[in-house]
């Protein structure tokens, strides 16, 4: 919390001088309109003065919502005289992080893999117009694929050749099958997910598709998800 309680106390340029501020207080001069003078206390006295004079003072005395005021001058004034302070715009504050504890031993859990690469079950991604760099689509990959079957391509800043050197870098199905065979993990889900273009698509596209991913995995009664970026 700052000195002003987290609020932005911006003073108009014509009020920054201490001499000018005291002049305004003493003479009741509207700082924005220069020579116009109000009555005692700096407030407009007559109806004409209210109509043609300083709307910020009128609004302050009448309790009018400052949003109705359209003059740039009055808007500047309203920061100080009507509202006093304007809340500072801040970025989105992260809410509390959800937490789902492991409900059963890992040896009994069903796991789904979620990869952030464009993964297809064939090698034709170069000719597939649906797959482009930054494509934010959500894809399912069948869990019974052979280890070398999914062709992975990572758009954006990643090394696009890495996943094709070893498919397990993007889609670690072989390593997870080994864990199942060793009894470390219960089983793999019948399908896995691939999100494409995380960096290029932006968080808005990901936020839009994440609930669909959650629905799919919830329907499959998945206990655990391993998320692998590329």
Binding site for another protein (CB under 8 A): 94, 96-103, 106, 114, 116, 154, 157-163, 165-166, 168-170, 172, 174-176, 178-179, 184-185, 195, 198, 203, 206-207, 210-211, 213-215, 217-218, 222-230
List of residues 6+ apart from 209 with CB closer than 8 A? 136, 137, 138, 195
Q: Which is nearer to another protein, 74 or 198 (CB)?
A: 198
In 3D space, the residue among 22, 52, 47 whose CA is nearest the CA of residue 36 turns out to be 52
What value, to the nearest 5°, has the Cα angle with vertex 133 and ends 127 and 135?
95
Backbone phi, psi, residue 129, to 5°: -70, -15
Measured from the CB of residue 183, what is the shortest distance to another protein in angstroms? 12
In the complex, the smallest distance separating the C-beta of residue 89 from another protein, rounded to whole angstroms, is 18
Closest separation in Å from C-beta 10 to another protein: 29
CB 130 within 8 A of CB 181: no
Nearest distance from residue 4's CB to another protein, in Å?
27
Q: Which is nearer to another protein, 88 or 184 (CB)?
A: 184
CB atoms within 10 A of CB 159: 11
Pick the closer one to another protein by CB: 66 or 134: 134
Alpha carbon distances (Å) from 146 to 36, 143, 168, 173, 222: 83, 9, 11, 8, 21
Cβ 218 to another protein shortest distance, Å: 5
Query: What separation, in Å, do the N-terminal and C-terminal C-alpha atoms of the chain show?
Result: 39
Measured from the CB atom, the residue of 18 and 101 that comes closer to another protein is: 101
Nearer to another protein, 66 or 156 (CB): 156
């Amino acid at each position: 919390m700052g000195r002003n309680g987290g609020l932005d106390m911006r003073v108009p340029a014509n009020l920054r001088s201490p001499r000018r501020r005291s002049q305004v207080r003493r003479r009741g001069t509207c700082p924005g309109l220069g020579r116009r003078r109000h009555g005692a206390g700096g407030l407009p006295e007559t109806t004409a003065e209210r109509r043609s004079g300083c709307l910020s003072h009128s609004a302050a005395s009448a309790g009018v919502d400052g949003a109705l005021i359209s003059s740039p001058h009055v808007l500047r004034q309203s920061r100080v005289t009507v509202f006093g302070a304007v809340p500072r715009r801040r970025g989105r504050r992260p809410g509390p992080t959800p937490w789902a504890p492991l409900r059963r031993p890992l040896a009994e859990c069903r796991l789904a893999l979620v990869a952030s690469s464009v993964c297809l079950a064939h090698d034709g991604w170069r000719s597939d117009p649906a797959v482009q760099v930054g494509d934010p689509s959500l894809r399912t990959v069948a869990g019974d694929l052979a280890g070398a079957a999914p062709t992975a391509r990572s758009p954006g800043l990643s090394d696009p050749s890495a996943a094709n050197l070893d498919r397990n870098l993007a889609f670690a199905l072989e390593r997870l099958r080994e864990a199942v065979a060793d009894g470390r993990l219960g089983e793999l889900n019948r399908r896995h997910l691939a999100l494409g273009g995380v960096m290029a698509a932006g968080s808005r596209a990901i936020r839009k598709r994440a609930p669909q991913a959650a629905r799919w995995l919830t329907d499959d009664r998945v206990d655990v998800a391993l998320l692998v970026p590329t």
